[in-house]
């Protein structure tokens, strides 16, 4: 409670009409409350968890799985949108390969398997494979904290992962696939969305008796990227390290993580509202209202692009609060010196 009062006190010093910075003020307060002690410099790190998904065999996407490998490679070479976003904001980034369908790894090799299995035919992964992907996410958070980073952001890369995310959300929430399954990267092909909805509904029905926990759900119908994201977010909750959420896939991982560990929602800061219809439902499962999301830009790329934009907002707000607090201290010291001199 003391720290919560301190966060409110610091933002109240800004020379602006009350609540005129709206959601930005609430976000910077949440950031300061997430830390064990309030800090005035942002030291971010961005992770992209990459993996392929066996469910693409069922015609739920039109893109080639080779894109996962090629784009992840572009990210590491600095030739992708997310790498440009990170470079322009001086934010270090890393691709963590937890399951790209290539013998060769990209970025940091934490490859569990070369893609998950087709979950319409069999569980997407074994219990051991789930744990390895989950632990890979935890490991990255531990290492980032060891290096002195005090805020993280997460993105993903993997052809077919809007299908796996929708399947996880459908199983986790019980909401009809008709409401949560979007077009993903195939807006011009309505037959693809119909196929996605059918595959997801059939698979969740098939495994219904086994889907008791978020971990079970990810294991049966999710992806290695979602498992790693979930593990990373749970670890952030345990360590009280704030993290910035990106779009739909990361929101589904967040919904799972928030059910596993209650502190996850306290350290999560949303960035943008994805065009995917399931986004608002995933946020709601973690206790976050869509009105708490600041960026409405129609983003649907993934990779963490929205999260990097949000880090820039947070950095600007944190600088403002810190600068005004410093000026207030100097003014108070000057006035005290004047009073001492006059007496």
- Which residues form the catalytic set? 303
d(CA 256, CA 272) in angstroms, rounded, equals 19
Instruction: Identify the DSSP state of 169.
Output: H
Output Rg (C-alpha) for the chain, integer angstroms.
21
Nearest to 211 by CA among 129, 115, 124, 137: 124
d(CA 238, CA 117) in angstroms, rounded, equals 31
d(CA 282, CA 177) in angstroms, rounded, equals 13
> In 215-245, which positions are buried (b, 16+ CB within 10 angstroms) versus exposed (e)?
bbbbbbbbbbbbbbbbbbbbbbbeeebbbbb
Length of the chain in terms of residues written: 343
Q: In this structure, are residues 135 and 231 in contact, taking their beta carbons and an 8 Å threshold?
A: yes
Q: Which two tokens stand for residue 336?
A: 């005290």
Q: In this structure, are residues 177 and 60 in contact, taking their beta carbons and an 8 Å threshold?
A: no
What's the 3-state SS for 148-165? CCCEEEEEEECCCHHHHH
Positive or negative: CA dihedral 12, 18, 20, 24: positive
Q: At 223, which helix (H) or strand (E)?
A: none
Q: Which two tokens stand for residue 323?
A: 């600068």
Q: In this structure, are residues 160 and 52 in contact, taking their beta carbons and an 8 Å threshold?
A: yes
């Amino acid at each position: 409670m003391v720290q919560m009062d301190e966060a409110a006190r610091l933002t109240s010093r800004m020379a602006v009409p009350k609540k005129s910075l709206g959601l930005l003020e609430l976000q910077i307060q949440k950031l300061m409350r997430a830390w064990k002690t309030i800090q005035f410099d942002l030291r971010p790190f961005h992770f992209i968890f990459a993996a392929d998904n066996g469910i693409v065999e069922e015609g739920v996407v039109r893109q080639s799985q080779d894109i996962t490998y090629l784009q992840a490679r572009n990210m590491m070479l600095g030739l992708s949108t997310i790498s440009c976003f990170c470079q322009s904001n001086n934010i270090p980034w890393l691709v963590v390969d937890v399951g790209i369908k290539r013998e060769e790894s990209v970025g940091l090799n934490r490859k569990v398997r070369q893609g998950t299995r087709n979950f319409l035919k069999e569980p997407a992964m074994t219990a051991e494979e789930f744990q390895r992907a989950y632990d890979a996410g935890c490991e990255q958070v531990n290492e980032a904290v060891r290096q002195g980073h005090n805020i993280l952001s997460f993105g993903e890369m993997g052809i077919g992962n809007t299908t796996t995310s929708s399947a996880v959300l459908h199983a986790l929430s019980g909401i009809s696939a008709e409401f949560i399954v979007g077009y993903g990267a195939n807006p011009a092909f309505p037959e693809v969305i119909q196929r996605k909805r059918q595959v997801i509904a059939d698979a969740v029905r098939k495994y219904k008796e086994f889907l008791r926990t978020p971990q079970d759900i990810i294991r049966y119908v999710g992806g290695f990227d979602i498992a790693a994201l979930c593990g990373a977010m749970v670890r952030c909750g345990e360590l009280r390290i704030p993290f910035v959420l990106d779009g739909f896939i990361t929101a589904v991982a967040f919904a799972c993580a928030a059910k596993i560990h209650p502190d996850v929602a306290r350290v999560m800061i949303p960035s943008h509202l994805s065009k995917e219809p399931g986004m608002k439902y995933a946020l709601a499962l973690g206790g976050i209202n869509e009105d708490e999301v600041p960026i409405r830009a129609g983003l649907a790329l993934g990779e963490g692009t929205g999260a990097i934009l949000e880090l820039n907002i947070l950095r600007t707000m944190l600088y403002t609060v810190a600068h005004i607090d410093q000026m207030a201290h100097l003014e108070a010291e000057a006035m005290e010196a004047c009073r001492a001199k006059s007496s």
